[in-house]
């Protein structure tokens, strides 16, 4: 008698969080961001029927594993596990250890994917400290430079050697740290900035990581096992989900207008011969944007062969969920999708439109 094999998707997620002294003022914010990320993994794994396992690392000048490959459903709040020390920041060492440890997981059965997410508020200054007994400065003396170069080589090598079903991402505090993360080998599309010093910045970070968790798991359903654009939105959108969850708008109740100049939105709509009321126009998501929780979303269908919009537009209350966007402000950037373009409702009168995009106007 033959038996059927269950072909299941297994996701191994490693969270690598900074506990160095500078994180003291941000400890509560970090706990919220991480807990919401885990919640997103839990909810989407349940919905999709995935097995998601999580490991947790904390680092200052030393790296400590707190949780190893645990079912994400059983992970408690980070609040009971995380505390800030007065140490420095061995960021590279922590990222490399996480990758090296995950490589020990056997992948013989099932379809496995790996996701590493590093969260920090600072820059590397202590990798190798536990071995050498000395810290190094990023722009320090000869010995410090040699130690740093060794660790730079190690992380760049580790990133270069990651298989296609591995994704490595990082949240950093500013643009300078983002450039540094790119030097380490993190893909630009897998780097996000979070502002730990403001409530608004923390809320944006929560939106960003929850959207990333949703996007990663949904991408698995489309056969995408690894990505270099984790913090992009809309790249995993597919026809089946759009037609099942959104409403096709009546073609007589909207128009798609090509934008030919950098004009304020109200002026552009009225010049095109239409009355402008707040919320009647949706701009094409073409660059990184902050999207408030109250904004409606729509998606315009494209011909995958030509990349041109077909004129069909879909929207509805489920659009935010379908795009992995929380009901709170989040910073996102557009993902590459051959079948759909995302449009965001504008409640402004002076928003400058981007030439070369289209504007969706409700009549």
Query: d(Cα 93, Cα 96) in Å, to the nearest integer?
Result: 5
Q: Is the pLDDT of residue 182 over 80?
A: yes
Which DSSP helix (H) or strand (E) runs through 341?
A: strand 340-345
What's the CATH number where 119 sits? 3.40.50.410
Whether 217 and 273 share a structural domain: no
Q: What is the pLDDT of residues 6-30, one digit of tens each?
A: 678 999 999 999 999 989 988 898 9
Produce one character per residue of 318-329: b if its CB has 16 or more CB atoms within 10 Å, e if not: ebbebbbbbeeb
User: Do 15 and 56 meet the contact criterion of CB atoms below 8 Å apart?
Assistant: yes
Q: Is residue 2 part of a domain?
A: no
Task: Tell me the residue range of the domain where 134 lies.
Answer: 9-230
Confidence tier at 138 by pLDDT (50, 70, 90): very low
Whether 293 and 158 share a structural domain: no
Q: CA–CA distance from 153 to each of 90, 118, 145 (Å)? A: 15, 18, 12
| Stretch among 4-18, 315-329, 333-347 having the lowest mean pLDDT | 315-329
Whether 149 and 291 share a structural domain: no
Q: Is residue 243 part of a domain?
A: yes
Nearest by Cα to 26 from 173, 158, 221, 162: 173
Whether 183 and 270 share a structural domain: no
Q: What is the pLDDT of residue 134?
A: 55
Confidence tier at 3 by pLDDT (50, 70, 90): low
Which DSSP helix (H) or strand (E) runs through 157?
A: helix 142-160
Produce one character per residue of 173-189: b if its CB has 16 or more CB atoms within 10 Å, e if not: beeebbebbeebbbbeb
Whether 80 and 189 share a structural domain: yes
Last residue of a domain, one of 189, 211, 230: 230
Greatest alpha-carbon span in the chain:
73
**Owner of token pair 């020390």:** 85
Q: Is residue 3 part of a domain?
A: no
Question: What is residue 111's three-state secondary structure?
Answer: strand
Whether 224 and 243 share a structural domain: no
Residue 28 tokens read as 């509560």
Residue 323 tokens read as 């795009």
Query: d(Cα 62, Cα 89) in Å, to the nearest integer?
Result: 8
Q: Is the pLDDT of residue 221 over 90?
A: no
Q: What is the pLDDT of residue 141?
A: 44
Q: What is the pLDDT of residues 271-316, one digit of tens each?
A: 999 999 999 999 999 988 888 889 999 999 999 889 899 999 999 9
**pLDDT average, residue stretch 18-45:** 91
Q: What is the pLDDT of residues 223-252, one digit of tens each?
A: 888 888 888 778 778 888 899 999 999 999
Runs of H (alpha helix) within 185-257:
199-221, 239-245
Last residue of a domain, one of 230, 249, 266: 230
Q: Is the pLDDT of residue 146 over 60?
A: yes
Query: d(Cα 150, Cα 165) in Å, to the nearest integer?
Result: 26
Residue 91 tokens read as 């960021």
Q: How many domains does the chain have?
A: 2
Q: Is residue 176 part of a domain?
A: yes
Give the global pTM: 0.75
């Amino acid at each position: 008698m033959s038996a059927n094999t269950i072909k299941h998707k297994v996701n191994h997620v490693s969270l690598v969080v900074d506990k160095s002294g500078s994180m003291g003022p941000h400890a509560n914010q970090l706990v919220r961001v991480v807990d919401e990320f885990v919640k997103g993994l839990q909810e989407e794994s349940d919905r999709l029927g995935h097995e998601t396992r999580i490991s947790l690392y904390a680092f200052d000048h030393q790296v400590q594993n707190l949780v190893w490959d645990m079912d994400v459903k059983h992970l408690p709040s980070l609040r009971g596990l995380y505390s800030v020390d007065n140490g420095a920041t061995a960021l590279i060492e922590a990222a490399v250890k996480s990758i090296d440890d995950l490589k020990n997981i056997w992948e013989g059965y099932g379809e496995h994917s790996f996701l590493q997410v590093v969260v920090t508020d600072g820059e590397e200054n202590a990798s190798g400290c536990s071995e050498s007994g000395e810290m190094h400065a990023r722009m320090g003396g000869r010995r410090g430079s040699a130690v740093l170069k060794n660790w730079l080589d190690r992380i760049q090598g580790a990133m270069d050697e990651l298989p296609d079903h591995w994704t490595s991402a990082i949240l950093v505090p500013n643009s300078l740290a983002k450039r540094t993360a790119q030097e380490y080998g993190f893909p630009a599309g897998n780097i996000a900035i979070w502002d730990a010093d403001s409530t608004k910045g923390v809320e944006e970070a929560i939106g960003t990581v929850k959207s990333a968790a949703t996007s990663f798991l949904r991408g698995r359903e489309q056969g995408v096992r690894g990505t270099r654009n984790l913090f992009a939105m809309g790249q995993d959108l597919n026809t089946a989900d759009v037609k099942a969850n959104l409403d096709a708008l009546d073609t007589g109740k909207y128009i798609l207008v090509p934008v030919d100049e950098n004009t304020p939105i109200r002026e552009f709509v009225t010049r095109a011969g239409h009355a402008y009321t707040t919320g009647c126009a949706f701009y094409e998501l073409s660059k990184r944007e902050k999207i408030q929780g109250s904004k409606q979303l729509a998606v315009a269908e494209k011909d995958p062969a030509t990349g041109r919009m077909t004129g069909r537009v879909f929207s509805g209350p489920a659009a935010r969920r379908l795009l992995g966007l929380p009901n709170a402000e989040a910073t996102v950037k557009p993902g590459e999708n051959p079948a759909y373009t995302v449009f965001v409702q504008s409640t402004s009168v002076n928003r400058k439109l981007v030439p070369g995009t289209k504007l969706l106007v409700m009549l």
